[in-house]
Amino acid sequence: MSPALDIPRAVTDTIEHVGMLLAAGFLLSHLLPLANRRGPLARSALLGVVFSLLALMSLLSALEPLPGVYLDARLAPLTLAGAVAGWPAAAMSFLISFLYRGGLGGQMIGPAGGSIVMATAIGLLYWHWRGRRRQPMRLSELLLLAAANVAQLAAWITVAETLRPGVAGVLSASLLPAEFGALVLLGVIFSDQQRRDHQRQVLRRSEQRLQRALSATQDAVFEVDYERCRQYLGPQLNRILSYPDHAVLNFDELIHPEDRQLEQRLADEHLAGVASHYEAEFRLRAADDRWVWCLARGRVVKRGADGRPQLWIGTIADISLRKRTQQALMRSEARWRSLVENADAYIGLLDPGGLILFLNRAPSGGATSVLGRSIFDLVPPDCVDPVRAALTEVVQAGRPQRLEIHDLRDRWYVCQLAPVREEGQVVAVVTIASEITDRKLTELRIRHQRDRAQAYLDVAAVMIVAIGPDERVQLANRRAAELLGCVVEQIVGQNWFDRFLPDAEREKVRATFHGILAGELKLVETFENAVRCADGRERTIEWHNALLYDVQGQVAGTISSGLDVTERRAAERALRDSEARYRSLVETREELILRLRRDGQVTFANEGYCRFLGQPRDAVVGQRYDARAHPDDQQAADDLLRDVERPPGRVSREHRARAGEAWRWIAWESSAIHDEDGRVTEIQLVGRDITKRKDAEAQARDRLMQLARISRLNTIGEMAATFAHELNQPLTAIINYAGAARNRLEREPAVPRLTESGDMMGRIITQAQRASELVYRVRNYVSRGTSSAASVGLNELVAEAAEFVRPEARRAGAAVHTELDDRLPPVVVDRLQIEQVLVNLMLNAIDAMGELPGRPHHLWVRTRADHQAGEAVVSISDSGPGVAADDLQRIFEPFVSSKNKGMGLGLSISRSIVQAAGGRLWAEHREEGGFFAFSLPVESNSTSGRAGRAAPPDAVDPAVAESAGPPGTP
Amino acid sequence: MTPANATVFIVDDDADVRQSLSCLLESVDMKVESFASADAFIEAFDSRRPGCLVLDVRMPGRSGLELLEELRECGQSIPVIFLTAHGEVASAVRAMKSGAIDFIEKPYSEQVLLDRIHQALGADRRRRELEEQRAQIVQRFHSLSPREQQVMGMVVAGQLNRQIAETLGLSEKTVEVHRAHVMEKTRARSLPDLVRMALIVEEKASLDAMRE
């Protein structure tokens, strides 16, 4: 191999190697986007791959050329296709490579140069493509690229080692730094590219922002480039100054001569670095020759190393409007100042703490300067507090205040305080003080007079109110305030009618008032109407009115003195009501009221009495009242007339009087009516018809007597029965013996005297029988006479009996309780008899409880219906000692008693009565006290006609019933 | 007229009444035994002894009525005369219902009492005779052979010999022999007599069954 060109072998090798390396690297780098498989990117990558492959192959063939075979030539069509596809640079590079090899025949240059050119071309293309998309290479791609290069380097070393053994080590030693150098270079290129891209974008955005900002403010931009000696004024200035857009303006020609010097100085200060900013106000001439106030702001943005300004930029803004306002303000201020300083009043400014910040003129005859002193030092001690209060109010609440103060020389000022706000905060207080000494003095004089008048009014016991034609109260005294329940200040100035008159009377009084004012109505001397007090109550006022006249003699209102007559009217009303009530009482009530002369003649009789008698009043009055009394009650009637004349002058009696056809009971109370000398002039009788009560009393008494009689009869009956039985035994024995004796005598008929004895025996028998009959007759008479059975409610009987024994129970310290079954059916019994049983049992219980004194006792009477047995059961239990279990039967036998007094017949009688009514009576032994119960068949079950003594045969004889054993536990 | 061996049993708690009554009855030659209480009577009572019972209703302990009811429950049919107090109609009625044959109100005429006692003793005697008669009939009936009893039952039921023979599978002749034996053994004089006896036996049997 002879080099066509005299190039050192090492150089060609290096070039060859680098070219291959690059080709392989780009091949791999193109595979990366290919993997993304996205449209145009993928297409371009594919092309990159193809050309990279071609480059590789051409390099490979250059390393180991096959004689006569040009791989490249066969690839020409592909190269053409690449050119057609828009890759002319790549194609060109390949072509060059081809030409180098074929045309020039250079064995070393050909492949190496071709590769280099091709690789460079591809690289250029790649960078171009990358740059066009502003897509910086990612770090991952870079690393992959590096890895690919290392791998490729390794491959290359291996190939080189195979082809030219021994050089590999040298190659790798010489190539590695180059390899890395290339990579570093690539990295630097990438990162720099990226940075520049970014900077460019930032710059562009900033520029755009600025543009937008400027266009929005309409401020003009100026730029002075000292390096290029160029001055630029933005087109906005043309608009500000009304010049056409295209006109080129010169600043120095435009500026107002008066402002030039100042502007120049400000600019110089800044350019020299003395002032950090440039800011100047000046007038510029507009197109129409007017002067436009402008504000220029700017800064040197670039200075040279020696500090000299290189670039000065800034803006010019139109401030003519602000300038005008400012001037107006200044003129206004001047006017105000002149006003303030020439004002008659003191006008000052205080800080919130009361320090005087400004005062338009010195206080008359006072200290020369008050600025910086506290307002409190200037006012007399008695004004300090009001001023402080007002100041505080202004500062804290922000409300203007008005107060009257005086100075140390008794000059009066009306002082107005108003807040000065900055940003919502009160920072100072404006005070304006005008002297009012004259007015004040006058006022004080008037007030003094008025106070004196008011004092006169106030001591008056009547309320005094003056009302003007506008209906407003002009004057009111203290009494009025007291009456109305408020202070005088709350009355004066108020509309009298709206405020102080009750709704019901308002319009009427108002009409009267206006009528008086207009002269249409005569002045009403006294007038009474109600006023409404603050607490809503109404009071009746009696008014005396007078008219007020002004200096012209016109009616200027009314003045009225009012007397509170509420209580008086109320008392009058109460009296009237009371009288009416009494009258109606006397006339309409049931009470009988009479007035009599001392001799008993009726002088007055009320409606009730006439009604009671059923006679007209005429027939009653003039008659003697006692003529109507029952003959038996004359004494009582006399007492009412006679005894009443003696102390205590009051007599109560009851007597009967004829009312129509009937006698009725009246309870009278007579009282004597005395004249001034204490003599009895008349007698008043007040009576009540108590006939009903009397009847009820009589009924109760009858009942009591009946009960007592029954009790008596029962006792006698029971005694008779017992006696009858007991007497019967000896009588029977007598009869038997007599019979026996006669029988034996009759056996001896031969003895006549004995026969006579036999007859006598017969007579004994007859007499004994007669005695027995007699006893039974008595008993039957006693027990049969009183029975009358009827359907009664047992509960009612129990309640009555309980009432009957209640006083007795109370004496024994026992409470009586009843528990009555509401659904108890009626029973058919002799009411009195059963009541007797109940009373007997209850009194027994009370007596028994009396044996255990000193503790509370209870007596329970309970009724219940035993529907199954068709019975009503009454039980009487007590808290007494109770009945011993052994005595449960014995106590029912006659003449057995646990009591000291008593015959021991009560239980026996009770059992007889209950059994006669078809029921049972039994006692039970209870731990807690006595327990007695009796049952009675209920009416529904007694329809078989059972009544009274016609009781079921198996229940009549107590002994029989007894022998049947105690009834089962109820 | 009073059977010699008949006894009047008196139960009364009142000693005077008891003794006077004994005196009275003994004065007409009656045999008397008296007891102070029902319990004492029950203890000494022998149903085979003929007589009647005079009971006072009102007694402590077991009352007369109770005693009567107890006796009746035990199948004792001794006639009972009650002595009741005047006007105690109800207990008298109850006593009669329970099987007393009579009651006498105190005070009574002694003659009336004696008459009633005689009646009661007569009734007792008749009752005992009847009992005896019945016992004999029953005994006679029991002496019949089973076949004869069978035949008798059918005869009493009104069947003819021929029918009986057919039912029992015997000859008419044999039936006639059985029938003759029945008439002979029961000492029935006629067919109605036999029917009466059969009724008595049946009644007795049902009574016994009831008592068991």
DSSP output for A814-868: EEEEEE--TTPPPEEE-HHHHHHHHHHHHHHHHHHHHTS-SS-EEEEEEEEEETT
Given a cut of 80, whether residue B99 has pLDDT beyond it is no
Contacts A959 to B, Cβ<8 Å: 57-58, 63
Say if the Cβ atoms of B14 and A733 lie within 8 Å: yes
Query: Has residue B146 got a pLDDT over 50?
Result: yes
Strand partners, A426: A421
Q: Do A953 and B21 touch (CB under 8 A)?
A: no
Tokens describing residue A662: 């009937």
Residue A653 parent element (H or E): strand A650-659
**pLDDT for res A214:** 64
Tell me which residue in B17, B26, B89 faces A732 most closely, judged by beta carbons. Answer: B17
- Strand-pairing partners, residue A355, are A374
Using left for φ > 0, alpha for ψ between -120 and 50, and beta otherwise, residue A536 falls in left
Residue A398, phi-psi category: left (phi > 0), alpha (psi -120 to 50), beta (remainder): left
CB within 8 Å: A732 and B20: yes
Residues in B touching A953 (Cβ below 8 Å):
89-91, 93-94
For residue B18, the chain A residue with the least C-alpha distance is A733
Residues of A in contact with B15 (CB under 8 A): none
Report the distance separating Cα B190 and Cα A544, nearest Å: 147
- Token readout for A287 is 């197109």
Residue A863 Cα, gap to closest chain B Cα (Å)? 30
Residues of chain B with Cβ-Cβ distance to A960 below 8 Å are 57, 63, 65, 90-91, 94
Q: Which of A729, A761, A773, A892 to mutate to test the interface with B (most CBs of B within 10 A)?
A: A729
Q: Which residues of B touch A (CB under 8 A)?
A: 14, 16-17, 19-21, 23-24, 26-28, 57-58, 62-63, 65-66, 83, 85-91, 93-94, 106-111, 113-114
Do residues B42 and B70 make contact, with C-beta atoms less than 8 angstroms apart? yes
What was the pLDDT predicted at A66? 39
Of B86, B94, B113, the CB nearest to A772: B86
- Asked if residue B84 lies in contact with residue B59, where contact means CB atoms within 8 angstroms, the answer is no
Q: Distance (Å, rounded) from C-alpha B65 to C-alpha A438?
A: 138
Which residues from B are below 8 Å from A732, CB to CB? Answer: 17, 20-21, 83, 106-108
- What is the C-alpha separation between A27 and A34, in angstroms, rounded? 11
Sheet containing strand A473-476, edge to edge, reads A473-476, A463-467, A555-564, A538-549, A526-532
Say what the pLDDT of residue A739 is: 87
Closest partner CB to A737 (pick from B14, B23, B107):
B23
Element (H, E) at A463: strand A463-467
- Please report residues of B whose CB lies closer than 8 A to that of A772: 86, 106-107
Q: Is the dihedral of CA A350, A351, A355, A360 positive or negative?
A: negative
Number of H helices, E strands in chain A: 29, 27
Cite the beta strand spans of A675-745 per DSSP E: 680-689
Give chain A's end-to-end CA distance (angstroms, integer): 152
Which residue among A724, A744, A960 sits closest to B91, beta carbon to beta carbon? A960
Q: Which residues contact A780 (CB under 8 A, 6 or more apart)?
A: B87
Phi-psi region of A244 (alpha: psi -120 to 50; beta: other; left: phi over 0): beta
CA closest to B95 among chain A residues: A954
Nearest-angstrom CA–CA distance, B183 and B177: 10
| A890 min Cα distance to partner chain B (Å) | 11
The Cα–Cα gap between A186 and A193 comes to 11
- Record the tokens describing residue A639, joined without a space: 């007492």
Backbone angles phi, psi at A310, to 5 degrees: -110, -40
CB contact under 8 A, A740 and B17: no
What pTM value is reported for the model? Answer: 0.37
- pLDDT per position as a tens digit, B59-77: 777 778 888 888 888 878 8
- ipTM score assigned to the predicted complex: 0.74
Residue-level length of chain A: 970
Q: Answer whether A463's CB lies under 8 Å from A486's CB.
A: no
CA nearest A731 in B: which residue? Answer: B107
B83-107 mean pLDDT? 75
Give the per-residue pLDDT at B92. Answer: 72
- Per-block average pLDDT, block size 10, for chain A (970 residues)? 45 58 56 50 55 55 42 42 39 46 37 44 52 52 54 50 47 46 54 70 76 70 80 81 82 86 88 85 87 87 83 85 85 80 78 81 59 79 85 85 81 84 82 82 82 74 83 83 82 86 85 81 73 84 81 79 82 78 64 82 82 81 80 82 78 83 84 79 84 82 77 75 79 87 78 75 85 76 62 86 83 87 86 85 86 84 87 90 81 72 74 82 87 85 40 39 37
Residue from B106, B113, B115 whose CB has the most chain A CBs within 10 Å, to mutate: B106
- Distance CA(A200)–CA(A154), nearest Å, equals 41
Sheet (strand A662-674) strand order: A602-605, A592-596, A680-689, A662-674, A650-659
Q: Residue B12 carries which side chain, given as an amino acid letter? A: D
Angle at A461 between CA A460 and CA A463, to 5 degrees: 85
* C-alpha dist (Å) from residue A503 to A491, A529, A531, A569: 18, 12, 10, 20
Which of A663, A655, A623, A659 minimizes the C-alpha distance to A636? A655
Q: Are A592 and A609 in contact (CB under 8 A)?
A: yes
The pair of three-digit structure tokens given for residue A522, joined into one six-digit string: 């005569």
Distance between B67 CA and the closest CA of chain A, angstroms: 11
Stretch (H or E) spanning A528: strand A526-532
**Inter-chain Cβ pairs, chain A and chain B, closer than 8 A:** 108
The pair of structure tokens assigned to A450 is: 């008025």
Give the per-residue pLDDT at A861: 92
**Alpha-carbon gap, residue A837 to A924, rounded angstroms:** 17
> Quick check: B85 and A780 CB within 8 A?
no
Q: What is the dihedral of CA A113, A118, A119, A124, to 10 degrees?
A: 130
Å from B57 to nearest chain A CA? 8
User: Which residues of chain B make contact with A764, given a CB cutoff of 8 A?
Assistant: none
**Radius of gyration (C-alpha) of chain A in whole angstroms:** 73
Q: List chain B residues with CB under 8 Å of A779.
A: 87
Residues in B closer than 8 angstroms to A730, CB to CB, are 16
Answer whether A733 sits within 8 Å of B58, measured CB to CB.
no
DSSP bridge pairs for B101: none
**Are B23 and A740 inside 8 Å of each other by CB?**
yes
Dump the DSSP string for A365-401.
Answer: TS-S--TTSBHHHHS-HHHHHHHHHHHHHHHHH---E
Across the interface, do B17 and A735 touch by the CB < 8 Å criterion? no
pLDDT at A51: 56
Contacts of A107 (CB under 8 A, 6+ apart): A1, A3, A4, A62, A65
Please judge whether A737 and B24 are an interchain contact, meaning their C-beta atoms are less than 8 angstroms apart. Answer: yes
Decide if B24 and A729 are in contact by the 8 Å CB cutoff: no
CB contact under 8 A, B24 and A739: yes
CA-wise closest residue to A547 among A525, A529, A531, A563 = A525
Q: Is the CB of A740 less than 8 angstroms away from the CB of B26?
A: yes
Alpha helices in A37-138 (DSSP H): 39-63, 71-74, 76-84, 88-98, 109-132
pLDDT attached to residue A704? 77
Give the chain A residue whose CA is nearest to the CA of B66: A963
Q: How far is B102 from chain A (nearest CA, A)?
A: 17
* B9 pLDDT tier (thresholds 50, 70, 90): very high
Q: Which chain A residues touch B if contact means CB-CB below 8 Å?
A: 724-725, 728-744, 765, 768-769, 772-773, 776, 779-780, 951-957, 959-960, 963
Closest alpha carbon to A912 in A924, A903, A902, A921: A921
B2, B8, B17, best to mutate vs chain A, most A CBs in 10 Å: B17
When scoring A723, A727, A731, A736 by the number of chain B Cβ atoms within 10 A, the one with the most, hence best to mutate, is A736
State residue A38 phi and psi, 5-degree precision. -115, 140
The verdict on a CB contact (< 8 Å) between B87 and A743 is no
Q: In angstroms, what separates the C-alpha of A858 from chain B's closest C-alpha? A: 36
pLDDT of residue A96: 46
In chain B, the residue whose alpha carbon lies closest to the alpha carbon of A958 is: B58
Taking residues B79-105, what's their average pLDDT? 76
In this structure, which amino acid lies at residue A967?
P
> Can you say whether residue A177 is alpha, beta or left, with left for phi > 0 and alpha for psi between -120 and 50 degrees?
alpha
- Quote the CA–CA distance of A179 and A186 in Å, as a whole number: 11
- Chain B residues in contact with A734 (beta carbon < 8 A): 20
Nearest CB to A736: which of B23, B58, B63? B23
Amino acid at A108: M
* pLDDT in the model for residue A154: 53
Q: Are strands A814-819 and A857-866 parallel, antiparallel or unpaired?
A: parallel
Q: Within its chain, how far is the Cα of A864 from the centroid?
A: 55
Identify all chain B residues contacting A743, using CB atoms and an 8 Å cutoff. Answer: 24, 27-28
Out of B14, B26, B107, closest to residue A768 by CB: B107
Pair A297, A319: CB distance under 8 Å: no
Cα atoms found within 13 Å of the Cα of residue B146, Cβ hemisphere only: 1
